[in-house]
Amino acid sequence: MKQTLHVLTGCTAVGKTELALRWAEARGAEIVSCDSLLFYRGMDLGTAKPTPAERARVPHHLIDVCDVREQMDVTRYVALARAAVADIAARGQAVLVTGGSGFYLKAFFAPIADDVDVPPALREEVRSQLEREGLAALVAELRALNPGGLGALDVQNPRRVVRALERCRVSGRTLAEMKEDFAALPAPFADFRVRLTELVREKPELEQRIAARVAEMLRAGLVAEVRGLLAAGLKGNPSAAKAIGYRETIDFLEGRLAEAELLPAIVQNTKALVKKQRTWFKTQLPEHAQVAAATADVSALFAPED
């Protein structure tokens, strides 16, 4: 019988951390993070990273594994997560994956990367072509390489057009062929039984929690944290520097945002993120249970095993 991986997700500020801790304590489980910002050392307040006291309650994995200048990608995450899960399972402990970062979360249910490796030289070549000839020229080449059509590709999005052309050139295959090959790949955790629960809250309550959380981040020293991270090279990692809470604070420190505007900006952008997360969970994840976080019975976060 396959070993079970329990996955607890939900949008930002829904209350995953405390419920995950309580469930893991009750089950003797260890927690594997699935949050794309908890990887980075020093990004603590703005990510609502579990505190040292919380992490002392239950062993955590994949937190503080990268310098803030390093880029994390889903392929590396899967390798690290599989190693962590294997280690925990080998010691006979239960595994609880928790987090709300969609692309990383999806790795537990579906294939997320194929074997098409685009050399840096080709990336630069295609980007130079875009600058010289414009987007229309790249789309025309893509259509020539894909006589069966471009499917749902957004041909108005330069980043996606560039990515598609790179992949067609290096692989010699059409987008349709690569899509078919990709769909046939096994999921990274296909050898486990994965059980998923999403924590939910009503919108007014969640928005109150977001406002309180942001106020606490600022009170606890988010501005000082970001100032230190900038000195440590935060801007060398665009995905981290553009994270909500960090990008607004950078704007404040660099004079593009007034101090009085900082909290409202972070709150508003967090609300927009939550809206996107809810849509993503609904459309991209397999069918799953939803549990009201406000009244959740920790012992019943996951339905009994079949």
Name the band, by pLDDT with cuts 50, 70 and 90, for residue 306. Answer: low
Output the CA angle 186-190-194, nearest 5 degrees: 140
For the segment 3-24, what is each residue's pLDDT rounded down to a tens digit? 999 999 999 999 999 999 999 9
Q: Mean pLDDT of all residues in the chain?
A: 94
Which residues, in sequence order, are CB contacts of 226 under 8 Å at separation 6+?
A: 46, 234, 246, 249, 250, 253
For the segment 48-73, what is each residue's pLDDT rounded down to a tens digit? 999 999 999 999 999 999 999 998 88
| Three-state SS at 6 | strand
Hey, what domains does the chain have and what are their CATH numbers? 3-112+187-300 (3.40.50.300), 120-183 (1.10.20.140)
Q: How far apart are CA 182 and CA 179, in angstroms?
A: 5
Instruction: State yes or no: pLDDT of 238 exceeds 70.
Output: yes
Contact between 181 and 116 under an 8 Å Cβ cutoff? The reply is no
Q: Name the residue with higher pLDDT: 118 or 198.
A: 198
Radius of gyration of the chain (CA): 21
Q: Name the residue with higher pLDDT: 89 or 115.
A: 89
Q: How far apart are CA 226 and CA 206, in angstroms?
A: 25
Q: How far is CA 121 from its chain centroid?
A: 28
**β partners of residue 98:** 8, 33
**Amino acid at position 154, single letter:** D
Output the CA angle 201-28-199, nearest 5 degrees: 10
Instruction: State yes or no: pLDDT of 74 exceeds 90.
Output: no
Q: Name the residue with higher pLDDT: 152 or 47.
A: 47
Residue 133's nearest CA partner among 154, 151, 158 is 158
Q: Name the residue with higher pLDDT: 216 or 181.
A: 216
